[in-house]
Chains A and B, each alone.
Chain A
Amino acid sequence: MSTLWSTWQLTDSILLQGAWLTIRLSVAALAVALVLGILGALGRLSPIRAVRALAAAYVEIFRGTPILIQLYVSNYVIVGWLNDRNVNPDSFIVGALTLGINYGAYMTEVFRAGILAIDRGQREAAQSLGMRNARVFRRIVLPQAIRVVIPPMANNFITLIQDSSYLSAISLVELTNTSEAIASGQGLAIRWQIYGFAGALYFLMCYPVALVARRTERRLRRRIG
């Protein structure tokens, strides 16, 4: 037990710094994903065929290819192209944007399902009151849809937090990268303790979100039932 404590003392500040970067990256990526998700859902439900096709292509491409490939493209190809033009984006921004664009595709499907779940009568009632389309969406459809989408959104947020570990591949020093860096020089026992700490920190970040998802799900089901 004393060794566990001494290992933690050896590493705690660095691991916690890594965890903090993981949290910041995840929240930034989630913000990007939510905006893109709403836009994407509107695109997929648009009356204009070309817009629908564009939104569908966005979803299929980003859901159909590994994040790692997307990261390599953004970090080497696109950033390389920008560097040639003397633009040097921060790797935090590159990582959070790529992760956010990737999850925007998942959020598009989540929001689309949420919007479709709202009774058509709600929209028609608002329209008959003389509301414009944009106002109907913002005031009537979106507030109701958000309640429905909270559970799948939370589930996606959990996988997003975990997938932020991929950003270690473009040398962002988040939690997985930190633990791997500290663990690599150590003997077996200490290495496992460090991995264990990292796992526990991820669990502490993800599990509360899972509980929120489960609780909202139960409450929604009760209301419907």
Chain B
Amino acid sequence: MLPQLLGGARTTLIFCVASLAIALTIGLLVACLRLVAPRPVGILAAAYVEVFRNTPILLQLYMVYYGLSQFQFVDATFAGIATLSLNYGAYEAENIRAGLQSVDRGQWEAAQTLGMRTFRTLRRVILPQAVRLMIPPVTNDFIYLLKDSAILSLITITELTAVAHHYADQNFDSNPYIFAAILYLCLSYPASQFAHWLERRVSRGIAGAA
């Protein structure tokens, strides 16, 4: 049973890393649109964030998996990664926007004075400074993602929760749940310690700069 559980943990991790990567891409795009794009586009981006943050991820998963099931390419893997990415894209958009906005206004003005365009300013001046501030909340979201990925077990993906539930159900045994919980803790605890450490470092950095 333990090898299967470890295999499930591996699937969980793969889904989470892939989804976070896509979510960060979506988030960066949406955050930049909200800050610099013309108003209608900005409103659309804001609507995306509000809709995905204010409805349950489980409902979103069912919408993608069952609602798009007549398309050939929509299988459980696609639906799972798409849902996790779109949902977390909304949260990352807010993290990234908060990071971008916390960079001093004078940095924008200075870059403009040097003749830099908006996009170049974002990429060369603002983003590098903002990334430092984004890392702790993004790490925290990764921990949430690890746990939220348990919903994938409800659409037949054999990640950690699914494997545990399968063995528990089959043998009327509660141990698989305990093992699975320990494995989740093994995945999330180092990440949470890392986030704490980063937070301390970042706040010290700000205090030092001031």
Question: Is B67 an interface residue when CB atoms closer than 8 A count as contact?
Answer: yes
**B165 to A66, Cβ gap below 8 A?**
no
- Residues of B within 8 Å of A210, CB to CB, are 53-54
A-facing residues in B142-191 (Cβ within 8 Å) = 143, 146-151, 153-154, 161, 164-165, 168-169, 172, 174, 177, 180-181, 184-185, 188-189
Question: Is A14 an interface residue when CB atoms closer than 8 A count as contact?
Answer: no
- Residues of B within 8 Å of A28, CB to CB, are none
**B148 to A64, Cβ gap below 8 A?**
no
Question: Is A191 an interface residue when CB atoms closer than 8 A count as contact?
Answer: yes
Question: Is A144 an interface residue when CB atoms closer than 8 A count as contact?
Answer: no
**B51 to A203, Cβ gap below 8 A?**
yes
A161–B57 Cα distance when bound, in Å, is 11
Closest Cβ neighbor of B192 among chain A residues: A64
- Residues of A within 8 Å of B50, CB to CB, are 203, 207
Contact among B153, B168, B172 with A68 in the assembled complex (CB-CB below 8 Å): B153
**B59 to A60, Cβ gap below 8 A?**
no
**B150 to A188, Cβ gap below 8 A?**
no
Q: Mark A187-214, 1 if CB is under 8 A from B, else 0.
A: 0100110010011001100110010000
Residue picked from A63, A72, A168, A169, most chain B C-beta under 10 Å: A72
Secondary structure class of chain A's binding surface, majority of residues:
helix
CB distance from A211 to the nearest CB of B (A): 11
CB distance from B106 to the nearest CB of A (A): 19
Contact among B54, B57, B181 with A207 in the assembled complex (CB-CB below 8 Å): B54
- Residues of A within 8 Å of B51, CB to CB, are 199, 203
Cβ contacts A to B, 12 pairs, < 8 Å = A66-B150, A69-B164, A69-B177, A73-B181, A161-B56, A162-B56, A169-B154, A176-B58, A199-B51, A202-B56, A202-B59, A203-B51
List 5 additional contacts besides A65-B181, A76-B169, A192-B63; criterion CB under 8 Å.
A66-B147, A69-B180, A72-B164, A162-B54, A165-B57
A interface residues with partner B (beta carbon < 8 Å): 60-61, 63-69, 72-73, 76-77, 80, 158, 161-166, 168-169, 175-176, 179-180, 183-184, 188, 191-192, 195, 198-199, 202-203, 206-207, 210
B interface residues with partner A (beta carbon < 8 Å): 50-51, 53-59, 62-63, 66-67, 70, 143, 146-151, 153-154, 161, 164-165, 168-169, 172, 174, 177, 180-181, 184-185, 188-189, 192
